[in-house]
Structure 1
Amino acid sequence: MTATETDGAQRFLDQFADKDAIARYAEGPPRFLPGFDAMHRMTGVLLDEVVPAGAHLLVLGAGGGLEIDALARSHPGWRFTGIDPARPMLDLAEAALAPFKDRIDLIEGLIDDAPAGPFDGATCLLALHFLDRAERVRTLRAIRARLCPGAPFVAVHSSFSQDADARDRWLDRYAAFAIASGADAEQVGQARSAVAANLSLFTPAEDEAMIREAGFAEVEPFFAAFTWHGWIAHV
């Protein structure tokens, strides 16, 4: 990342060190992402097409524990290694995932801190938009290098038109959905401003191209909801 982009991403990540924000974290994603629970169910279905009953999965951006919780509940044979750079978010995940602690290993860090694997599959939900293009492709390559041949990878993150007028229109819709879902209007306004100013945002076509550039094959979109898009790909 450039210095400016690194500073912007860090400012956005700083919210995850705020105790009040941490306490409210589980309320946020369902209010800002249409179909949040369905996204987790679809992720489980897509992984289940390929991975074995006793699969070991890599979860990048595991802080908070929401996706691991959903996948661990629906697939009692799966094991998980979760990576996240925010220690307070990992503490939250650890508490939330206590019923499954024997199947979960949580690591503070970035993809380079993840074990070499090989893993049977991987997910990166609501995290890649923190990375600029070069770092995103590098991270995707590092995920791929840790997967078994044929293993699935599921990604969902913020991805929408970056034409100036369309960008503002979709960000307004992002905010309007959160308010309609019960989020505080002032906090939503702050979130909209933070997304606009600090995240590395690309079009769905550009995001899909990055996944292919990293070496993944069979890249298919499976999720689209306002400013969010998701893909399933394979090694």
Structure 2
Amino acid sequence: MKIDQRSHSDDLLTHFNDATAVARYAEGPRRFVPGVEAVHRMAGILIAERVGADASVLVLGAGGGLELKAFADAYPGWTFDGVDPAREMLALARRTLGAHAPRARLHEGLIDVAPDGPFDAGVCLLTLHFLAPDERLRTLAQVHRRLAPGAPFVAMHASFPQEADARTVWLSRYAAYALASGADPEQVRDAHAAVTAHLQTLSPAHDEALLRAAGFSDVEVFYTAFTFRGWIAYA
């Protein structure tokens, strides 16, 4: 089945601008993504290895603000430019940031609306799996263009074997983890169906190849948990 990427993107944007979905957003990553809060801490550590106390950080897919809040709490000198196409999710990010909100400039749109930088670091968590390979490569290249030479870039999203039988097994494990974490069974069924039909998942090898094709070097995996992978790479 060929996915209509424009229709798929419109559906996603409608979902992430829905007040009910936005209100319960924070529950999702904690129940569906193993160790998501630890990923925020690890991402901060990986960035801090290469940047100063007053680093500027580009955050793609910043809606909701969970990673922004984690970084702002841990690194009081960092400032942020966050990009997300969903207005309601950006509003939630502002609320999540609370007193840290003045340290973050939030931009509604895709990577193209981000300032040119150069930024000291970049982050993209739980976002790239919404993009088809061509658009993912374009987005990664645009992130790379906005980073200072040698700047760290942390990415994490769904990435697992895509052969038909293996894909079925891993998506079943994704659903089983969410159920074991206390997610509502109906929500899990809906999420499993949506991911199976529409999410633009790639194999880990394909994801790594796209990072290199976009210009990143020294690509390394730092996180693996069921259907999710995280990488550290450098501009």
Q: Could you state the TM-score of these two structures normalised by the residue count of structure 2?
A: 0.97
**Superposed displacement of residue 199, structure 1:** 1.4
The answer to whether the 8 A contact 1:8-1:199 is kept is: no
Name the counterpart of 1:9: 9
Tell me the equivalent position of 2:209.
209
Distance (Å, rounded) in 1 between the aligned partners of 2:105 and 2:199: 28
The offset of 1:3, in angstroms, is 6.8
Letter in 2 for 1:227: T
* 8 Å Cα contact 2:82-2:104 kept in structure 1: yes
Distance in 1, matches of 2:167 and 2:53, equals 42
Q: For residues 17 and 119 of structure 1, what CA distance do their matches in structure 2 show?
A: 28
Task: Tell me how far apart the structure 1 counterparts of residues 87 and 108 of structure 2 sit (CA, whole Å).
Answer: 6
Compute the TM-score of the two structures, normalised by the length of structure 1. 0.97
- Superposed, 1:50-129 pairs within 5 Å as 50-129=50-129
SS class of match (1:39): helix
8 A contact 1:8–1:197 mirrored in 2:
no
Q: State the shift of 1:12 in Å.
A: 3.2
Equivalent position amino acid for 1:64 in 2: G
Q: Which runs of 5+ in 1 are unaligned?
A: none
Q: Is the 8 A contact 1:9 1:198 kept in 2?
A: no
Pairwise CA distance, 1:98: 2.1
Equivalence for 1:197 = 197
CA shift, 1:228, in A, is: 0.3
Give the counterpart letter for 1:125 in structure 2: L
* 3-state SS, counterpart of residue 43 of structure 2: helix
Provide the residue aligned with 1:167 in structure 2: 167
Distance 2:227 2:100 in 1: 32
Distance 1:223 1:13 in 2: 28
CA-to-partner distance for each residue in 1:174-212, whole Å, 9 max, x for gaps? 011111101000111101111111111110000000000
1:18 shift after superposition: 1.7
What residue number does 2:223 align with? 223
1:6, distance to aligned residue in structure 2 (A): 2.4
In the TM superposition, what is the alpha-carbon distance from 1:49 to its structure 2 partner? Answer: 0.4
Give me the whole-angstrom Cα distance separating, in 2, the residues matched to 1:12 and 1:166.
26
**Residue ranges of structure 2 left out of the alignment (5+ in a row):** none
Q: Is 1:146 aligned to 2:137, yes or no?
A: no
Is contact 2:3–2:198 with CA below 8 Å preserved after alignment?
Answer: no
- The answer on 1:18 being equivalent to 2:18 is yes
Please provide the CA RMSD for this pair.
1.1
Note the C-alpha offset of 1:73.
0.4
Letter in 2 for 1:133: P
Partner Cα distance (2:215, 2:233) in 1: 10
1:38-89 Cα offsets, whole Å, 9 max, x none, are 1111001100000111000000000000000001101111000000000000
- One-letter amino acid of the structure 2 residue matched with residue 104 of structure 1: A
SS in 2 for 1:25: coil
For 1:124 and 1:131, the matched residues in 2 are separated by 12
RCO comparison, higher one (Cα < 8 Å, 6+):
1
Q: Deviations over 1:124-179 (max 9, x none)?
A: 00000111111100110000000011100000001001111110111111011111
The residue identity in structure 2 corresponding to 1:33 is: V
- Separation in structure 1 between the aligned mates of residue 3 and residue 32 of structure 2, nearest angstrom: 28
Give the conservation status (yes or no) of the 8 Å contact 2:13–2:85: no
167-176 or 12-21: which moved more?
A: 12-21
